[in-house]
Amino acid sequence: MHLGFKQNHFKQNQLNLLNIMKFFYALIITFLSSLSFSQDLNIKFIEQIIHIDFSKIENFMVEGYGFNLTDSKEKSNQLEFFKIPSNNIDNAIIIKIFNGKKINPLEINVAKNYSIIKIKQDFVENNYLYIGELEDVFWLYEKGDLLVMISKKPNKVGAHQIIVSNKK
């Protein structure tokens, strides 16, 4: 009797250990897949861009964050940058920065590997208040004098647009 109990107990421990290993394996796979399939848009990064002196933006974006400047340099009141993480076009981000008076308004286009749900959550977690919709095109958020508009639907190439500007 005693030997049978030990064998059953040993088998039960093996099954428990196997279930724990499966669980951790599933967690690791989930974590790794989220890294490779979803890009994040850092809200603090956006807040830095809108407040930096316009004459320092090129250095900030290229040297500080590895963006590439497009041919927009010919226009003195705006600069456009792009970045394609992991050389995957589905991770692309394009940021157009306008020379503003109080802030530098932004137009951001993010490719399909950016989660719009996550971006919306990040704005809320960074104290932006959801204030409604603009027709059936944009979700609207505000923080102080800032207005953020996030497109509800992607454009023809699958990119979502995020616009950051003054409320006035």
pLDDT digits (tens, 9 = 90+) for 96-106: 999 998 999 99
Which helix (H) or strand (E) segment holds residue 24: the answer is helix 2-37
Alpha helices, DSSP H, located in 73-153: 116-125
Beta-bridge mates of residue 130: 141
pLDDT digits (tens, 9 = 90+) for 118-159: 999 999 999 999 999 998 899 999 999 999 999 999 988 889
Torsion angle of the four alpha carbons 78, 84, 89, 94, in this order, in degrees rounded to the nearest 10:
-20
How far apart, in whole angstroms, are the C-alpha atoms of residue 61 and residue 155?
Answer: 25
The pTM score is 0.74
